[in-house]
Chains A and B, each alone.
Chain A
Amino acid sequence: MINVKNLRKTFGEIVAVDNVSFEAGKGDIVGFIGPNGAGKTTTLRMLSCFIAPDSGSATVGDFDIRTQPVEVQRCLGYVPEKSPFYGEMTPRWFLKFVCDVRGINGNRYKPEIERVATISSLQGVMDRRIETLSKGFQRRLGLAQSLLGDPPVLILDEPMAGLDPNQKQEIIELIRLMAADKCFIISTHVMEELETICNRGILINRGRIVADSTPADFKEKGQGRIDTFFRQATSEA
């Protein structure tokens, strides 16, 4: 579902992403890990077609991110890092807007909004202004909008940031529930999350992939602790 080849992105002198290649398919829950500033968000932004790569190529659901950005965006749901949404809107209005953009209209949008609101536990706050919602609800709204239209690929940038343990657990269960027939890419720098949610980990440091394996393998290499492996791998590079 996702095929990335030699992706590179620079900002002036800084090389943010350098020669990144990987593949991911149905059922994969790929954890994108790395220190702050490693290039995780830049890679995800390129996959979501928010920014264009300098060189290299990538396809999402058979569509090229350079030449078919709109088709790519149709088959992926994306949750940006800070869940920035229009504060003056209500979740109901906001989800309706995303339905309109995605062409979910007529008599299809109401059940679709109900569906994502139910799985994201948003029913109680659907008519409150987004800016008055707690961070937990805002994250869930971010996830809810990405599920509209049931896209096969979901890219979540730090979905757990700022959530309490209960809220984290809810999101983990939600991801597990949907994992079988979707491809998830989840960025995080919390190792526990990698272990509990993902069935694969890609460690990125200074824009380059330094490890691509399973969380269990990372744990083994770190003598029982993923943290140890993370520190070793990122300090060597």
Chain B
Amino acid sequence: MRATSAIFKREFQSYFSTSMGYVILVVFLALSGFLTIKGRFFELRQADLRVFFDSLPLLFLFFVPAAAMRLWAEEHKSGTIEFLFSLPVTVRQAVIGKFLAAWLFLGVALALTAPVVIAVLYLGHPDTSAIVTGYLGAFLMGGAYLAMSTLCSALTRSQIVSFVLSIAVISLFVYADSPAFLAWLRGRLPAFLMEAVANMSVVGHFESMQRGVLEFRDLTYYGVLIAGLVSMTCIIVDHRRESC
């Protein structure tokens, strides 16, 4: 616990010790504002955050890999991994500490989108429970993206490779339930497998939460996905330090 919290603190502070963290945040906020307004947020005259939440799966596709790409790739490239694991730290503590730090960074990014919530509260009478579950869903979906990106970062020593690979992997999970993809699968896979593939979509599970519906299966889905990916990252980090 002690080591996990030390690594968590160091990693989180690192985001704000270089311009990188600020640049990622500013670009995220600017793009989310742009997409929300361009999505006819005001013209629709509806007091909800639908437009904003709808933009997140695409925005996170770039934002999360950018925030996570250095987590392990940089440790390998600079050789700090040798120092890190000479300290009384287990692989699991290090992986979880880093993951949680990046997740909190993502939480900060989401918290900074508060002006859009204030605007909706000021302009109308929105369903606040839908806003709360929507944000919770966004945070969980971001966590799932992040778990995939962390795993990709552990696979390489290049931040760029990690970034591109993460986008490719996350895309599979984002577009798993897209009509075009399912149409392509039809006839190639039995119906029950197609349904399973469609249910793998990280976005599908986020959509019901946007509407204010908090379902056990959605929470379980994100929980299992994140835990599974973090465990796989532990195995990869442990295996790869042998080749340093």
Q: Which residues 18-37 of A sit at the B interface, judged by CB distance below 8 A?
A: none
The listed residue with most A CB atoms (<10 A of its CB), out of B3, B79, B82, is: B82
Q: Is there an interface contact between B89 and A101, defined as CB atoms closer than 8 Å?
A: yes
Rounded to whole angstroms, the CA-CA distance of A80 and B75 in the bound complex is 14
A89 within 8 A of B: yes
Q: What is the 8 Å Cβ interface bit string for chain A, positions 38-51, against chain B (1 contact, 0 not)?
A: 00000001001111
Q: Report chain A residues within 8 Å CB of B3.
A: 101
Q: Is there an interface contact between A98 and B78, defined as CB atoms closer than 8 Å?
A: no
Q: What is the 8 Å Cβ interface bit string for chain A, positions 66-106, against chain B (1 contact, 0 not)?
A: 00011101100010101011111100010001101111000
Measured between C-beta atoms, what is the minimum distance from B71 to chain A in Å? 13
Measured between C-beta atoms, what is the minimum distance from A211 to chain B in Å? 27
B197 within 8 A of A: no
Q: Report chain B residues within 8 Å CB of A84.
A: 78-80, 82-83
Q: Is there an interface contact between B85 and A50, defined as CB atoms closer than 8 Å?
A: yes
Q: What is the 8 Å Cβ interface bit string for chain B, positions 213-244, against chain A (1 contact, 0 not)?
A: 00000000000000000000000000001111
B187 within 8 A of A: no
| Contact residue among B10, B78, B85, B88 (Cβ-Cβ distance under 8 Å from A97) | B10
Rounded to whole angstroms, the CA-CA distance of A74 and B90 in the bound complex is 12
How many A residues are at the interface, by size bracket?
A: 20 to 34
Q: Report chain B residues within 8 Å CB of A98.
A: 87
- Asked if A101 meets B88 with Cβ closer than 8 Å, knowing A84-B78, A84-B83, A88-B17, the reply is yes
Q: Is there an interface contact between B17 and A73, defined as CB atoms closer than 8 Å?
A: no
**A-B pairs with lowest CB-CB distance, top 6:** A100-B6, A84-B79, A78-B86, A73-B88, A48-B86, A101-B6
Rounded to whole angstroms, the CA-CA distance of A98 and B85 in the bound complex is 12
CB closest chain-A residue, reference B83: A80
B49 within 8 A of A: no
CB closest chain-B residue, reference A98: B87
Q: Is there an interface contact between B10 and A80, defined as CB atoms closer than 8 Å?
A: no
Rounded to whole angstroms, the CA-CA distance of A161 and B199 in the bound complex is 56
B5 within 8 A of A: yes
Measured between C-beta atoms, what is the minimum distance from B244 to chain A in Å? 8
Q: Is there an interface contact between A73 and B86, defined as CB atoms closer than 8 Å?
A: yes
Rounded to whole angstroms, the CA-CA distance of A78 and B83 in the bound complex is 8
CB closest chain-A residue, reference B242: A51
Q: Report chain A residues within 8 Å CB of B85.
A: 49-50
Q: Is there an interface contact between B18 and A85, defined as CB atoms closer than 8 Å?
A: no
| Contact residue among B78, B86, B90 (Cβ-Cβ distance under 8 Å from A87) | B78
The listed residue with most A CB atoms (<10 A of its CB), out of B3, B6, B9, B86, is: B86
Measured between C-beta atoms, what is the minimum distance from B241 to chain A in Å? 7
Measured between C-beta atoms, what is the minimum distance from A171 to chain B in Å? 18
